[in-house]
């Protein structure tokens, strides 16, 4: 099957792109085109207009100003995978990027496309929710910022309006000092090119990595494909913070993960199996993050 007829537009600036979104009815943005072309080819989407934003070079960057890291929406998965800035400040992002599909997809797909599509199994939405990321959005009326946890509303439904464009994703560095923070992203997949059955993003900050039993100061835990939206389980964070990291505590939070997720049955994974994955992968991710924090 082929897509239905559409009119093609290729803006050269963000301003031009958002003006097109404001002026055109039934328009879709095209970035990495790793999902849109599939649903259009199957006539699951039949937009009258396609706005190709691949010419917006101003949205392809990864910068750090000391206080935060900002990632342009058109940054490809391979850009995140190989970024030295991210490997130093937020190594969880390259780790998440390198687990996305194969090289062809990673060379074309974008972080903005992933956040925009908002698939609850996606790697970046999970990380953004876990680490209090912020989504920067532009429209013909101006720009606004929204926290990741508020951005994802329901299954593949976000706070993004039809006339808005994601420009970048921002992560504050305040809570994640490099010398005392460990991060880990783990996912279970049936095959490299498939969506993860379940993934976990985690971060742990300790007070003194040289101590015999460092106190856990800060914990972040987010899960993908464990509910209709990427979720953060603050009860687990509260359980671990303020105490040394122990096997007993790890077992406790594993059970909390099992109880707090709300997974849906899939062809290859029913609800109970995904709860079991949530328990085991939460424990693995937190254990890895803690080990890295104390290295």
| Same domain (yes/no): 251, 229 | yes
In this structure, the strands spanning 27-30 and 49-52 are: parallel
Tens-digit pLDDT profile for residues 244-277: 999 999 999 999 999 999 999 998 899 999 999 9
Q: Is residue 239 located within the same domain as residue 143?
A: no
- Domain check: are 106 and 190 in the same one? no
The CATH number that applies at residue 44 is 3.30.43.10
Task: Kindly state whether residues 143 and 209 are assigned to the same domain.
Answer: no
Mean pLDDT of 235-244: 98
CA–CA dist 228, 138 (Å, integer): 26
Same-domain pairing of 223 and 249:
yes
* Range of the structural domain that residue 167 is part of: 57-172
Whether residue 265 is found in the same domain as residue 211: yes
Domain of 224, CATH number, reads: 3.30.390.50
CA distance linking residue 146 with residue 135, whole number of Å:
5
- Count structural domains, the chain: 3
My answer on whether 70 and 22 are in the same domain is no
CATH code of the domain covering residue 162: 3.30.465.10
Q: How confident is the model at residue 190 (pLDDT cuts 50, 70, 90)?
A: confident
Among 164, 165, 163, 166, which Cα is nearest to 24's? 163
Residue 276: inside a domain: yes
Whether 1 maps to a domain, the answer reads: no
Tell me what the mean pLDDT of segment 114-130 comes to.
97
In a domain, 2, yes or no: no
- For position 191, what pLDDT does the model report? 81
Q: What percent of the chain has pLDDT over 90?
A: 90
Q: Are residues 63 and 156 in the same domain?
A: yes
Whether residues 146 and 199 share a domain: the answer is no
| Rounded mean pLDDT, 233-239 | 98
Do 95 and 146 share a structural domain?
Answer: yes
pLDDT at 1: 65
Q: Does the residue 22 lie in any domain?
A: yes
Residue 199 lies in a domain: yes
Give the pLDDT score at 186.
97
Single residue among 155, 172, 189 that ends a domain in this structure: 172
Establish if 240 belongs to a structural domain.
yes
pLDDT tens-digit readout, 178-187: 999 999 999 9
Question: What does the pLDDT read at residue 100?
Answer: 95
Domain contains 283: yes
For the entire predicted model, the pTM comes to: 0.95
Q: Are residues 116 and 221 in the same domain?
A: no
Residue 193's pLDDT band (cuts 50, 70, 90) = confident
Mean pLDDT of 75-104: 97
Nearest alpha carbon to residue 97 among 9, 28, 169, 152: 169
Mean pLDDT over the full length of the chain: 96
């Amino acid at each position: 099957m082929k897509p239905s007829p559409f009119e093609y537009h290729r803006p050269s600036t963000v301003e031009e792109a958002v003006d097109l979104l404001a002026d055109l009815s039934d328009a879709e943005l095209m970035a990495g085109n790793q999902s849109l072309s599939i649903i259009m080819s199957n006539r699951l989407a039949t937009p009258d207009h396609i706005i190709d934003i691949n010419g917006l070079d101003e949205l392809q960057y990864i910068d750090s100003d000391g206080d935060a890291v900002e990632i342009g929406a058109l940054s490809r998965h391979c850009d995140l995978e190989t970024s030295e800035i991210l490997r130093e400040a937020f190594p969880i992002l390259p780790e998440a990027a390198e687990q996305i599909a194969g090289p062809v997809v990673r060379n074309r797909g974008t972080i903005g496309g992933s956040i925009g599509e908002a698939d609850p199994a996606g790697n970046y939405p999970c990380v953004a929710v876990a680490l209090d990321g912020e989504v920067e959005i532009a429209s013909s009326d101006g720009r606004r910022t929204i926290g990741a946890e508020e951005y994802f509303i329901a299954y593949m439904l976000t706070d993004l309006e039809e006339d808005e464009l994601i420009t970048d994703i921002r992560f504050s560095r305040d809570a994640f000092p490099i010398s005392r923070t460990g991060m880990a992203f783990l996912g279970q997949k049936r095959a490299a090119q498939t969506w993860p059955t379940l993934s976990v993003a985690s971060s742990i900050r300790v007070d003194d990595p040289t101590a015999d039993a460092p106190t856990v100061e800060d914990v972040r835990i987010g899960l993908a494909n464990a509910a209709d939206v990427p979720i953060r389980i603050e009860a687990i964070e509260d359980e671990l913070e303020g105490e040394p990291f122990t096997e007993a505590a790890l077992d406790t939070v594993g059970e909390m993960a099992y109880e707090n997720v709300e997974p849906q049955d899939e062809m290859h994974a029913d609800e109970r199996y995904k709860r079991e994955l949530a328990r085991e992968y939460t424990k693995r991710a937190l254990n890895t993050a803690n080990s890295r924090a104390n290295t």
